[in-house]
Structure 1
C-alpha cells in the first residue's frame, strides 16, 4: 500500500511526479445519481477541472435514452468532428457537460448496442484475463456492456485526437467498470490504468449475509466465499482488474486490509474521499435553511403522530443506502427506542430513518394534514411511516418497529419516523432536497458495521451537524487519525468502537451519547457545531487530491515500464556472428 509517503518521497528523490495530460474517468454513477460514488466523482470534478481545463472527461451510461437528464446537458459543439467519426465506428454517444461544480465534459454511452457481441466479449475476457462471466446474473451484463462501450469510446477518442506523446490515464471505479480497464490494456496499452474499489463485492456480501467479517477476515478465502455466496462473476472481474491495472486503489485503510485478504493484493494507494463545500450555505442563508428544514421536519412528525412536539426537540437521523445491518440501521432504531426509557434524556427527540425503500406514493392522509396547517391530537394509522410501501410486510425497518412495539404514542419521548424515499425535493411529503433538509438536523447517527468510507457523516459535519459513527467506517478511522485519539462529540464527530459481536454495547453508547447531548447548553452545542465544520475542512478535495496525484504518477510510471518491456520483448533478436 502506497499512500502519501510516495507523494513526498518522489520529491526527495529529485524526481518530479508525472501528471497526466488527459484523464478519462468512468463509473456507473457519472451523471447518474444512485449512490455515494456520484458524490465522490461530482465533488472532485471541480478540482480536476481546474488542473486539467477540459482534459478531464467523465464517461457514464446512457440509462435514460431519450428521457431528459437532471444532471447532464448535451453540447453539440463539443468534439463535433470526433462524434461524427465515432458514429461511423458504431458508437452511439451523447457529449455534453455534467451539471456539477466545474461543469466537466461528460460522454454518455448507449451500451445496449453491444449485447449482440456479449458472448464474444466474455470469451475474449476469459482468454486474456480469466474473467469468469459464466455465473453472471442481475446487473452484471448491463455493467459489462457499458464498461466495454466506455473502453471503445476512449480508444476512439485517443486515436482521433491523441498519440504516444500524451500522458493519458484511465480511471475505472468499482467492479462495474473493471471490464473497461482490462479491455483498454489490449486496445491501447499506452494508456495508464487505475482501478478503485470503493467496497469489495465479497466483503459487502459477507457482511450483508450476517457473517462475521472482521474477526475471521484473515481466514476467509475470497474465491471460495464468492462461490458460497453466488457472486463468482462479480468477484472475478473485480479480482482480475485489481491484478492487471497499473495502479490499484481503495478508499480507506480498513478496506485496504479487506482487499489484501479477499482479493489477494494490497492496494497501491489509498484515496480517501474528499468533499467540496462551496455549496454549503453560509450566514443568514444557512440559518434560514436550518429554520425552514426544522419547521418542515417537525410538522411532518406532528401531522403523523398527532402530538404537539416541542420546537426545541432534537431532530436526529440516519441516512444512506438501505443496507439494514451494514449501515447500522438496526442499531439506530434500537438505540432511539431505548432512549424512551432513559431518565437522562432532557429533550424530546424526533428520529428519522432516511433511507430509500420500495415506496409507492406519499400518504394522502399525511399530505392533507400538512396542507391544512391545522393542529391534530389524534395519530394517523401507522404513525411512523410517511409513504406507502410496496413491501410493507417484508420491510426490515417496519418489521423492527413492530418487533420493538414502536407506535409513537403521545407519552413516547422519542418519535421514530421512516422516510423511505430519495430526498430530491419532489417526494410529496418533505419536499426538500437532502442538502436542504440536512441543516435542520441536530445530530446524525451512522453506526456502520460495513462502511469503506462513509460520505454521510462527512456531509453532516460539512453542514455543521455533529455526528456519531464507528471505527468500522473509513471516515471514523480518518476522524480518529485527525484527532490523534478516539474522536468525541465535542470534536464534531463521536467515533464508537464496533466489532463483530458488540452490537448491544454500541446501542448503549449511542443512547448515552444522545442523552448527554440533550443536556448540552446552547453554547456547548454551538461549539460542537463549529468543531464539526472545522473538521470537515480537513477533508476538502484541495487537501485530498494529493493522494490522487500519487496514484496518477504511479500508474504512468508502471505504464511506461510495461509498454517498454513489451516492446523490448517483441524486438527482433540480433545474432552476433
Structure 2
C-alpha cells in the first residue's frame, strides 16, 4: 500500500524540449510550469539542452546572479551551464547544459549503461547519441546541484520525459537512490515507428512483440533505453489510456499512473479583446487567401484548419485532404470553405509574389502560380501534401467552393507572410480538424477549444478518448468536439464523417454556432492543469515512497 507522503520539496524535470520549442512536449511542460511554480516557488527546476550558447534565446533569459556559487563549482566539475528563467507563464528556473563535451566519452558511458542496465546502444544512429549525451549531462547537473544545495532530509523528484532522458534517469537511479525518479513516455518509440511505417498498429497490438519489432524497424537502441528506463524508475507514466495499452504490449510494462495533458488558459485573450483579435485573425487569413487565389472570399467564408507536426499519416493530414476533396463535390455545402494545412515542411522561403500582393492592398482576379502554397519548399515535387492535392486535381479553381492552402512553416510570428503567432491565428477559425491515426494525447484540439473553436478529432487520440469519457459516450459537434471512430482500416469512413460534419456545421445558424463555441470553451476548462495536477502528485508520491523504502532497506 502506498502511504501518503507530502509533496516533494524539489522537482528537477528534464526534456529535450525545455526552452526548445519543437513539438507537443514543449506545450505540456510550458503550460504546466506555472501550476508547479505556484506550489514550489523556485524549487521546480527545468533542465534543457543549450543550443543557443552565447546567442539570445527567445525562450530563455539568463540570470547570472542565480546560483552563481554553484555554477562555479559545476564548471570546475566540467559542466558548462547557463542558469536563468524560462520565458513562459510562471517564469520557472531553467538550467541549460552544453552536452557536446561528453561525446568523446560516449563509448565509456554506453559501456556503463550496458553493464548496469543491459541497454543496447550498439545499434544507435541519428539522434540517439545527441539525446543520450544531453540526458547524461542533465543527470550530472542534478547530481552536482543536489550535492551542493539540498539537505539530505529533503524529498526530491527527478522527472524525465521521453526516451531521450532515459540514460539520465538510470544514472540518477544508480548514483542517487534517495531521489525518486519519474519517467513519462509521451509515445512509445516503437509504437510511433510501427504507425509511421504504414503498419496496422491497433488491431494487431496484442500480437506485436516490441523487441522483435525494434529489430525489424531498426529501432533497437531507442526501444532498449525506453524499456529499461520504464522497468527501473520508481514511477513509470504515460499521457493517456491508449498509450498505456501500447506500453503494456510493446514495453511489457504496466504504467503506474496516467498523466493526462492539461492546459493553462492564461494566454487565451480576455472577452474584452477576444472579438477584436478574432476579427484581426480572420482578416489576415482572408487577405492572404484572396491574394494567393485571386479571389474575393468574404467574412462569411468558413475557415478551417489542421496543424501539428508533419507526420502525414499519423496526424491524419492525408485523411484531411481526402475529406476536403470529397467536400468539393458535396452539393449540400452551404458556405465557401477555406481550409488551411498548417504544418512545418522543408520550407525554403516565403513567396515574394504573394507578399507583394498582400502589401499592395489591391484586389486581384487571377491566381498566382501554384495557388495552393504560401512558401516555396526545397523539394516541391517530393512533398506529400502537394502530391496528394495534385493527384486529386485540387488546384483551387475559381468556382471551387472549397479552397485548400498549405502553410508549411512554424507560425511563430516571423514566417514572412502571415507574421502572426499560432495562438493569434487559431482563434480566427470556425472549425479545426485533427483526424489523427497516432496521437497519444493531442494538444492541438485542446488548444482549439480553449480558443472557443469547435473541433473534430478521433478516438485514436488520447484527447478524443478523454472527451468521450467526460460525455459518457461519443461526443458530437454540438458538444464542442466531434470524436470520429477510427481504426486501422476505416480511412474512407473517417473522411466521409469529416465531410458530413463540416457540411452539417455549415448549416448552423449564428445562435447554433455561439452555443457550440461556448460548449467548446466550457469543455476546455475541465482540462486545466489546476484539475489535472493531482495525477502528477500521485506519481510523485509513488516515486517518493519507493525512494523512502530504499533508504529504509539500506539502514
Interval containing the TM-score (normalised by the shorter chain): over 0.9
**Equivalent position of 1:271 in the other structure:** 259
**Equivalent position of 2:159 in the other structure:** 171
The equivalent position to 1:398 in structure 2, one of 386, 397, 401, is: 386
Contact 2:4 2:541 in 1 (8 A): no
**Equivalent position of 1:364 in the other structure:** 352
The equivalent position to 2:496 in structure 1, one of 508, 517, 520, is: 508
Q: Does 1:251 align with 2:239?
A: yes
Q: Does 1:109 align with 2:97?
A: yes
Contact 1:310 1:348 in 2 (8 A): no
**Equivalent position of 1:189 in the other structure:** 177
In 2, distance between residues paired with 1:382 and 1:292?
A: 26
The equivalent position to 1:343 in structure 2, one of 322, 331, 337, is: 331
* Structure 2 SS opposite 1:278: helix
In 1, distance between residues paired with 2:550 and 2:224?
A: 23
The equivalent position to 1:309 in structure 2, one of 273, 292, 297, is: 297
* Structure 2 SS opposite 1:388: strand
Q: Does 1:134 align with 2:122?
A: yes
In 2, distance between residues paired with 1:129 and 1:560?
A: 22
In 2, distance between residues paired with 1:226 and 1:16?
A: 38
In 2, distance between residues paired with 1:409 and 1:87?
A: 62
**Equivalent position of 1:455 in the other structure:** 443
In 1, distance between residues paired with 2:451 and 2:62?
A: 32
After superposition, where does 1:296-445 map in structure 2 within 5 Å? 296-445=284-433
Structure 1: tracts of 5 or more residues without a match = 1-5, 569-577
**Equivalent position of 1:290 in the other structure:** 278
In 2, distance between residues paired with 1:42 and 1:82?
A: 25
After superposition, where does 1:17-96 map in structure 2 within 5 Å? 17-96=5-84
Q: Does 1:158 align with 2:146?
A: yes
In 1, distance between residues paired with 2:199 and 2:502?
A: 29
| Superposition deviation, residue 117 in structure 1 | 0.7
| Superposition deviation, residue 562 in structure 1 | 2.6
**Equivalent position of 1:98 in the other structure:** 86
In 1, distance between residues paired with 2:545 and 2:6?
A: 8
* Structure 2 SS opposite 1:218: helix
In 1, distance between residues paired with 2:235 and 2:129?
A: 25
**Equivalent position of 2:470 in the other structure:** 482
Give per-residue Cα distances to partners, 1:253-298, cap 9 Å, x unaligned. Answer: 0000000000000110000000000110022311111001000101
Contact 1:179 1:237 in 2 (8 A): yes
| Superposition deviation, residue 97 in structure 1 | 0.3
Deviating above 2 A after TM superposition, structure 1's stretches of 4 or more consecutive aligned residues are 15-18, 562-565
Q: Does 1:143 align with 2:131?
A: yes
| Superposition deviation, residue 163 in structure 1 | 3.1
| Superposition deviation, residue 17 in structure 1 | 3.6
In 2, distance between residues paired with 1:124 and 1:452?
A: 32
CA root-mean-square deviation: 0.9
Contact 2:5 2:545 in 1 (8 A): no
**Equivalent position of 2:187 in the other structure:** 199
Contact 2:5 2:544 in 1 (8 A): no
In 2, distance between residues paired with 1:469 and 1:132?
A: 37
In 2, distance between residues paired with 1:512 and 1:17?
A: 51
Q: Does 1:225 align with 2:216?
A: no
Give per-residue Cα distances to partners, 1:152-209, cap 9 Å, x unaligned. Answer: 0000001001132010000000001111100111221111100000000000000000
In 1, distance between residues paired with 2:54 and 2:189?
A: 32
Normalised TM-score (structure 1):
0.95
Structure 2: tracts of 5 or more residues without a match = none
Give per-residue Cα distances to partners, 1:321-347, cap 9 Å, x unaligned. Answer: 000000000000110111111111000
Contact 1:303 1:379 in 2 (8 A): yes
Give per-residue Cα distances to partners, 1:228-268, cap 9 Å, x unaligned. Answer: 11111111110010000000000000000000000000110
In 2, distance between residues paired with 1:162 and 1:65?
A: 27
In 2, distance between residues paired with 1:303 and 1:401?
A: 20
The equivalent position to 2:513 in structure 1, one of 504, 511, 525, is: 525
Contact 2:442 2:462 in 1 (8 A): yes
| Superposition deviation, residue 53 in structure 1 | 0.5
* Structure 2 SS opposite 1:28: coil
Contact 1:18 1:552 in 2 (8 A): no
Contact 1:18 1:556 in 2 (8 A): no
Give per-residue Cα distances to partners, 1:550-569, cap 9 Å, x unaligned. Answer: 0000001111113333x26x
Count residues in correspondence: 555
In 2, distance between residues paired with 1:132 and 1:562?
A: 27
Normalised TM-score (structure 2):
0.99
